[in-house]
A and B are shown apart, each in its own frame.
Chain A
Amino acid sequence: MPESASTYSPQVDALYFYLSGVTVFFTLLISIVLIFFVVKYRRRSLYEIPRPIAGSHKLETLWSVVPFLIAMSMFAWGAQIYFHQYRSPKNADEIYVVAKQWMWKIQHSTGQREINELHVPVGRKIKLIMTSEDTIHDFFVPAFRMKADVLPGRYTTQWFEATKPGTYHLFCAEYCGMNHSGMIGSVIVMQPTDFDNWLSGNASQQAPSVAGQQLYESLGCVSCHGARGEGGRGPSLVGIFGRKVFLTNGQTLTADESYIRESIENPQARLVSGFGPIMPTFQGQVSPEQLIQLMAFMKSLQVTGPQSPSPATTVAPPAAAETSRAPTPSAAAPTPR
């Protein structure tokens, strides 16, 4: 067994033991029966012809149904673990990961940057928000039993809660070119107090949300989305993450990192209902890391007091949007995508 250092590892290991048990059982069963038959029914005379046996539907049903039930138990157990792993908890600390050939760039929400190292405290839920600058990579920490592809132009997430202080391997698990096997690092799990010391020892750097605010101002987002993201000619950005967004084409979606990135790089792709196609594209002007900073800034925006809910805020769907979401093809919803 590899080292086990996250809340998730024992769950995976338990299932792995179950699978190994079943595998060993069936492999032994088949081998023993096979060897027994091969020895017992060996050919004793060149001319012997055994009596034919057609088969048995009863037996065949038995050995279809029993493996199927066993397989279903594996499926259900595995799906349950996977589902749990892929639903990030709400209260997790967010850490940003940017992968590139051939290094891991990591930034904590408090501003600390690291390369090929990730310091995390024991017992706290950590959510990684990951993207790549070039090709596909994969963030793999065997001791945590977790792995997820890191894609260019997209944000993938995974979360963990470390349980044991120590230094663990971080591997890139998706082949990414010449120095793929050098794209490794370590995850350093520390006691919370040590971690806090480590944080304050590296505190000089700017938090991504602060950097994001500067970008927000310098790129001119302010003029349409408002100084504090309250909205105006453009939709409000306050509390945007996880919110339902109603689009001009009648569809709805839940805003996430990928949607925000798309709306910055290709604003016309999925317009928020009630707004015109006036936003210019920022493709090529914002690096993946800056995108992350902008998002960190958006996440830091607080809902302050009673807002004046212009139609812009789109929190409450107009009735029309409700109906056009019905599965019947409604002519009321043109889809200019």
Chain B
Amino acid sequence: MQAPETFETPAAERVNYLNAQYGLKSWLLTKDHKRIGLLYLGSISFFFLIGGLYAMFIRLELLTPQGDFLSSATYNKVFTQHGIIMVFFFLIPSIPATLGNFLVPLMIGAKDLAFPRINLLSWYIYLLGGIITIYALLAGGIDTGWTFYVPYSTTFSNSYVIATGAGIFISGFSSILTGLNFIVTIHTMRAPGMTWFRMPLFIWAHYATSLIMILGTPVIAITILLLAFERLAHVGIFDPANGGDPVLFQHLFWFYSHPAVYIMVLPGMGIISELIANFSRKNIFGYSFVAFSSLAIAVFGFLVWGHHMFVSGQSVYAGMVFSFLSFAVAIPSAVKVFNWTATLYRGSISYDTPMLYALGFIGLFTIGGMTGLFLATLGVNVHTTDTYFVVAHFHYVMVGGTLLAYMGGLHYWWPKITGRMYPEGWGRFSALVVFVGFNLTFLPQFIAGYLGMPRRYHAYPPEFQVFNVLSSAGASILGVGLLIPLIYLIWSMRYGRRAEANPWHLPGLEWRTPSPPPTENFLVTPLVTWEAYEFAPPEELRVIGVFKEDESLENADAVIDGRPT
């Protein structure tokens, strides 16, 4: 039997995007989407560590029912800043700005994004927003909760609301620019033969995400502006003392922040589609349904914001409409889960680290999605909203969903990004540790929540302690599970085994160029003649046009011929 794949790594010292230029300036002024992706990777990892540090303080405080580790004022700042950093500076940019930035052009056969300078600008804007936010945290912090509910945030809070708001406001523009760049790139820069329905589902997911970024982000920008006006000039928009309406703020806030959940999770779903298909060597079951479900989620996601407000005093009838629509938006997600599962049927499934993360994602996202139905159900929402049930639910979606997908994607494309393999054994081990630690952290919170423990409580009645101790124990395991990859990924950048161009033996375009890719991504513009996830028989897979004019093809052939059969 012949080897399934095509060519091995050409000379490792060949010119690629990493060694094409050296020096700080070559990074800070780069227009290469791959380098910008790495700049983002570094900065969001930094914010993730800060957010994680805050999480650690929260879990330490909640070990005991008394508020004895931090003061109430500090605790309130800690959970607020955990939320703000994680949501606005990690989860929202995480997958699109790093992996999306790196891979969208590679996966559609383009040389770069449509607007390379705007891409670099978006990183600087993100950084500026981040620095202003960090300044706000250092200057004294913010204690409004990441939701900024008025009139507390406009009138009663004495913390750095406007500085933090400015940071979020500014970083929102980086989101808009990234979305714009993706949409134009996907429309205009696909390689010949890369039709819409040959695009990997990762691209469909990013297309849908970009739509939300462009349409939704301006709304949060406006909302923050109004909030700042009211705080500075006491214009009566939200505070009833000045004739405003506090519920209006909640409408505006969730009009963005619910779709923002899909900004976080849709790219994750895109990664999972890639991992499930590629690591079982199967085309995705029901490709077009999975592709269109991303768009459906993007559209319907804008119509369900009111389900955050069932007890806020909004009309009962509005509540019913929002409840109905929330159930409707759950269906495309459910179908994705079924389709992923069906993709595995009669596949050739490997247990590599990325696949372990993908399988974990399906399990956790199922729980996260199903508990979302509890919250969409009006009668149950009244009891569970604003309790730890909600906290558990959205961590299942955002950590169990987005973070696991991000980790899976990072491992999957790591050889392409760095040209080095991560240590597989450590990878599998830490994936397992993350899965166990995560469940131990957040499963008990569902119970505590249904028993009535309110969220954002610094001290709590002693009967809830057992759940909080379990949670804190789980969080330490989860923390270790996330630190291990941090260490070995950095280690592997220097000491990892050199990766071939196509270490996983896959048909996708990004695997038909060397690892790491040259600055212009492909030596010859690729011509796409295959469907997404088309695993041709091994002998056909050898024929690849990408390297036709490349000398090294001779070497590649030799390696393949020399492979044990």
Instruction: Give the distance in Å from the alpha carbon of A311 to the alpha carbon of B30 in the complex.
Output: 78
**Chain A 65-106: CB-based contact to B (< 8 A → 1; otherwise 0):** 001100110110111111101100000000000000100000
| Cβ-closest chain A residue relative to B151 | A135
Instruction: Give the distance in Å from the alpha carbon of A169 to the alpha carbon of B462 in the complex.
Output: 12
| Cβ-closest chain A residue relative to B351 | A42
Q: Are A60 and B289 in contact (CB under 8 A)?
A: yes
The smallest beta-carbon distance between B397 and chain A, in angstroms, is: 14
| Cβ-closest chain A residue relative to B335 | A64
The smallest beta-carbon distance between A128 and chain B, in angstroms, is: 13
Given contact pairs A16-B374, A147-B385, enumerate 11 new A-B contacts (beta carbons under 8 Å).
A26-B370, A30-B337, A42-B350, A47-B3, A55-B286, A68-B327, A68-B328, A134-B151, A135-B155, A182-B72, A266-B243
Query: Most B CB atoms within 10 A — which of A31, A33, A44, A177?
Result: A177
Q: Are B452 and A177 in contact (CB under 8 A)?
A: no
Q: Are B350 and A43 in contact (CB under 8 A)?
A: yes
- B518 contacts A by Cβ under 8 Å: no
Residues of B within 8 A of A101 (CB): 156
Q: Are A146 and B382 in contact (CB under 8 A)?
A: yes
| Cβ-closest chain A residue relative to B338 | A63
- B537 contacts A by Cβ under 8 Å: yes
Answer whether A140 and B339 are a contact pair too, CB < 8 Å, given A30-B363, A34-B344. no
Q: Are A171 and B379 in contact (CB under 8 A)?
A: no
| Cβ-closest chain B residue relative to A31 | B363
**What are 10 sample pairs from A and B whose C-beta atoms fall under 8 A apart?**
A15-B380, A19-B380, A31-B366, A50-B282, A64-B335, A75-B327, A79-B379, A142-B451, A146-B382, A175-B149
Chain A residues with CB under 8 Å of chain B are 1-2, 11-12, 15-16, 19, 22-23, 26-27, 30-31, 33-34, 37-38, 41-44, 46-56, 59-60, 63-64, 67-68, 71-72, 74-75, 77-83, 85-86, 101, 134-136, 138, 140, 142-143, 145-149, 151-154, 156, 169, 171-182, 184, 266
Q: Are A72 and B327 in contact (CB under 8 A)?
A: yes
Residues of B within 8 A of A178 (CB): 72-73, 76, 143
Contact of B285 among A44, A55, A148 (CB under 8 A): A55
Instruction: Give the distance in Å from the alpha carbon of A19 to the alpha carbon of B446 in the complex.
Output: 13
Contact of A37 among B72, B349, B538 (CB under 8 A): B349
Residues of A within 8 A of B382 (CB): 12, 82, 85, 145-148
| Cβ-closest chain A residue relative to B316 | A86
Answer whether A135 and B152 are a contact pair too, CB < 8 Å, given A38-B349, A41-B347, A74-B373. yes
Instruction: Give the distance in Å from the alpha carbon of A16 to the alpha carbon of B145 in the complex.
Output: 28
What are the 4 A-B residue pairs with the smallest beta carbon separation, nearest first?
A142-B452, A153-B240, A81-B379, A78-B377
In chain B between 1 and 18, which residues have their CB closer than 8 angstroms to a CB of chain A?
1-4
- B466 contacts A by Cβ under 8 Å: no
Residues of A within 8 A of B505 (CB): 46
Q: Are A52 and B283 in contact (CB under 8 A)?
A: yes
| Cβ-closest chain A residue relative to B337 | A30
Q: Are A12 and B380 in contact (CB under 8 A)?
A: yes
The smallest beta-carbon distance between A319 and chain B, in angstroms, is: 29
Residues of B within 8 A of A16 (CB): 374, 380, 383, 450
Contact of A85 among B281, B324, B379, B454 (CB under 8 A): B379
Residues of B within 8 A of A136 (CB): 149-152, 246
Contact of A47 among B76, B373, B381, B538 (CB under 8 A): B538
Answer whether A49 and B377 are a contact pair too, CB < 8 Å, given A12-B383, A41-B349, A72-B327. no
Q: Are B345 and A37 in contact (CB under 8 A)?
A: yes
Q: Are B4 and A27 in contact (CB under 8 A)?
A: no
| Cβ-closest chain B residue relative to A143 | B452
Q: Are B313 and A52 in contact (CB under 8 A)?
A: no
| Cβ-closest chain B residue relative to A9 | B383
| Cβ-closest chain A residue relative to B3 | A47
Residues of A within 8 A of B247 (CB): 151
Q: Are B346 and A41 in contact (CB under 8 A)?
A: yes
Residues of B within 8 A of A11 (CB): 379
Instruction: Give the distance in Å from the alpha carbon of A16 to the alpha carbon of B376 in the complex.
Output: 12
Answer whether A41 and B345 are a contact pair too, CB < 8 Å, given A55-B285, A136-B151, A152-B241. yes
Contact of A151 among B1, B240, B380, B457 (CB under 8 A): B240
Contact of B383 among A52, A146, A174 (CB under 8 A): A146
Residues of A within 8 A of B451 (CB): 1-2, 142
Contact of A2 among B240, B319, B347, B452 (CB under 8 A): B452
| Cβ-closest chain A residue relative to B379 | A81
Instruction: Give the distance in Å from the alpha carbon of A179 to the alpha carbon of B156 in the complex.
Output: 13
Q: Are B344 and A176 in contact (CB under 8 A)?
A: no
Query: Most B CB atoms within 10 A — which of A19, A83, A147, A151?
Result: A147
Contact of B143 among A27, A74, A85, A177 (CB under 8 A): A177
Contact of A181 among B67, B341, B378 (CB under 8 A): B67
Residues of A within 8 A of B370 (CB): 22-23, 26-27
Query: Most B CB atoms within 10 A — which of A48, A71, A179?
Result: A71
Q: Are B331 and A67 in contact (CB under 8 A)?
A: yes
Residues of B within 8 A of A67 (CB): 330-331, 334-335
- B520 contacts A by Cβ under 8 Å: no
- B312 contacts A by Cβ under 8 Å: yes
**Chain B 401-425: CB-based contact to A (< 8 A → 1; otherwise 0):** 0000000000000000000000000
Instruction: Give the distance in Å from the alpha carbon of A1 to the alpha carbon of B383 in the complex.
Output: 12
- B27 contacts A by Cβ under 8 Å: no
Residues of A within 8 A of B286 (CB): 55-56, 60
Residues of A within 8 A of B459 (CB): 181-182
- B359 contacts A by Cβ under 8 Å: yes
| Cβ-closest chain B residue relative to A149 | B312
Answer whether A151 and B282 are a contact pair too, CB < 8 Å, given A27-B363, A78-B377, A180-B456. no
Q: Are A33 and B341 in contact (CB under 8 A)?
A: yes
Q: Are B345 and A53 in contact (CB under 8 A)?
A: yes
Contact of A154 among B241, B313, B386, B534 (CB under 8 A): B313
In chain B between 241 and 257, which residues have their CB closer than 8 angstroms to a CB of chain A?
241, 243, 246-247
Contact of A23 among B323, B371, B378, B456 (CB under 8 A): B371
The smallest beta-carbon distance between B513 and chain A, in angstroms, is: 22
Residues of A within 8 A of B182 (CB): none
Residues of A within 8 A of B19 (CB): none
Instruction: Give the distance in Å from the alpha carbon of A101 to the alpha carbon of B157 in the complex.
Output: 12
Q: Are A42 and B349 in contact (CB under 8 A)?
A: yes
Q: Are A177 and B156 in contact (CB under 8 A)?
A: yes
The smallest beta-carbon distance between A61 and chain B, in angstroms, is: 10
| Cβ-closest chain A residue relative to B67 | A181
Q: Are B461 and A78 in contact (CB under 8 A)?
A: no
Answer whether A50 and B377 are a contact pair too, CB < 8 Å, given A60-B335, A149-B313, A154-B313. no
- B460 contacts A by Cβ under 8 Å: yes
Instruction: Give the distance in Å from the alpha carbon of A123 to the alpha carbon of B168 in the complex.
Output: 51
- B555 contacts A by Cβ under 8 Å: no
In chain B between 445 and 473, which residues have their CB closer than 8 angstroms to a CB of chain A?
450-452, 454-461
- B311 contacts A by Cβ under 8 Å: yes
Q: Are B4 and A47 in contact (CB under 8 A)?
A: yes
Residues of A within 8 A of B145 (CB): 175
In chain B between 181 and 200, which residues have their CB closer than 8 angstroms to a CB of chain A?
none
- B287 contacts A by Cβ under 8 Å: yes
The smallest beta-carbon distance between B344 and chain A, in angstroms, is: 4
- B280 contacts A by Cβ under 8 Å: yes
Instruction: Give the distance in Å from the alpha carbon of A23 to the alpha carbon of B377 in the complex.
Output: 13
Instruction: Give the distance in Å from the alpha carbon of A31 to the alpha carbon of B505 in the complex.
Output: 27
The smallest beta-carbon distance between B119 and chain A, in angstroms, is: 35
Q: Are B458 and A180 in contact (CB under 8 A)?
A: yes
